[in-house]
Amino acid sequence: MNAIITATELASELAGGTPPVLLDVRYQLGGPPGRPVYEAGHLPGAVYVDLDSELAGAPGPAGRHPLPDLDVFAGAMRAAGVRADRPVVVYDGGQGWAAARAWWLLRWSGHPDVRVLDGGLAAWQAAGEGLSTDKEDPQAGDFTPAPGALPLLTADGAAALARRGVLLDARAGERYRGEVEPIDPVAGHIPGAVSAPTTENVAAGGTVFRDAAELAERFATLGATADAEVGVYCGSGVSAAHQVLALAVAGVPAALYVGSWSEWTADPARPVATGPQPG
């Protein structure tokens, strides 16, 4: 099953007999909040899900967006109408990072059929499809998380993977090199990690994924192939989820280090590399 869906394909499925559950996960680091823009216009039938409070736990030593409390996550998914036997499509404003986080969490917790709308709400509108301002009232779902369907890395696991496999750093290159660090307390990267900015997963200047063959070629040059052990991290486990999604499109399974750099640097004993090389 493809991990992404086009706006045209989604419109066709929504008109069919078993339409997917739609989740709106619009999010922007530092605001504004996603709910007001959701209420101003969303895909018909979509329910808003908040990344900070429903797709992540409270910030702390485990990172800025650690795993959510499973009961909170399960409650949010059931309130949104998510069922184990019904497909789910998630979208955001277009960047795809927040939608990918929702995709990863649902897949990791055992939902078998989750896709991301390629290009998000912008692609939906570009396809000539309309928005709704209705207050959605979905029938309660029955989804019960069963974690472990996708691989998950701890800090120690990420460090070990960087030595024996391929650990991709999905942040901007200047953050990887340690030239700047606008968010976390220390600049640099996990020793052994390879720079692989998430922004290169999409066509230049856009939000739509590059095709599967292009993505596979991109990741192969970084050593990330289907027969390699691959992991990904970023600042807080959000843009890295987009990288895991891109790898899935390319046919490469990958583990996510959810705590990412924000957890790594919370412990001053953990080593830090700088410069353009893995180190």
Q: What is the CATH number of the domain that holds 108?
A: 3.40.250.10
Within-domain flag for 36: yes
* Distance (Å) of CA 53 to CA 33, 72, 209: 12, 8, 27
Both tokens assigned to 203? 């066509």
Within-domain flag for 156: yes
| 157 and 102 fall within a common domain | no
175-194 confidence digits (pLDDT tens): 999 999 999 999 999 999 99
| 56 and 167 fall within a common domain | no
Phi, psi dihedrals of residue 219, rounded to the nearest 5°: -70, -35
Q: What is the pLDDT along the chain (279 residues), one digit of tens a residue?
A: 789 999 999 999 999 989 999 999 999 877 777 899 999 999 999 999 999 999 999 999 999 999 999 999 999 999 999 999 999 999 999 899 999 999 999 999 999 999 999 999 999 999 999 999 999 999 999 999 999 999 999 999 999 999 999 999 999 999 999 999 999 999 999 999 999 999 999 988 789 999 999 999 999 999 999 999 999 999 999 999 999 999 999 999 999 999 999 999 999 999 999 999 998
| 156 and 59 fall within a common domain | no
| 78 and 190 fall within a common domain | no
Domain assignment of residue 40, given as a range: 4-126
Within-domain flag for 250: yes
| 74 and 122 fall within a common domain | yes
Number of domains in the chain: 2
| 108 and 35 fall within a common domain | yes
Query: What residues act catalytically?
Result: 234
Within-domain flag for 109: yes
State the DSSP string of 137-168: -PPP--------SS-EE-HHHHHHHHHHSEEE
| 160 and 105 fall within a common domain | no
| 95 and 187 fall within a common domain | no
- With 0-12 CB in 10 A as exposed, 13-18 as middle and 19+ as buried, what is 94? buried
| 110 and 8 fall within a common domain | yes
Q: DSSP code of 118?
A: T
pTM of the shown model? 0.97
* Distance (Å) of CA 93 to CA 22, 138, 155: 14, 22, 30
| 224 and 174 fall within a common domain | yes
Within-domain flag for 233: yes
Within-domain flag for 100: yes
95-111 confidence digits (pLDDT tens): 999 999 999 999 999 99
Within-domain flag for 187: yes
Within-domain flag for 138: no
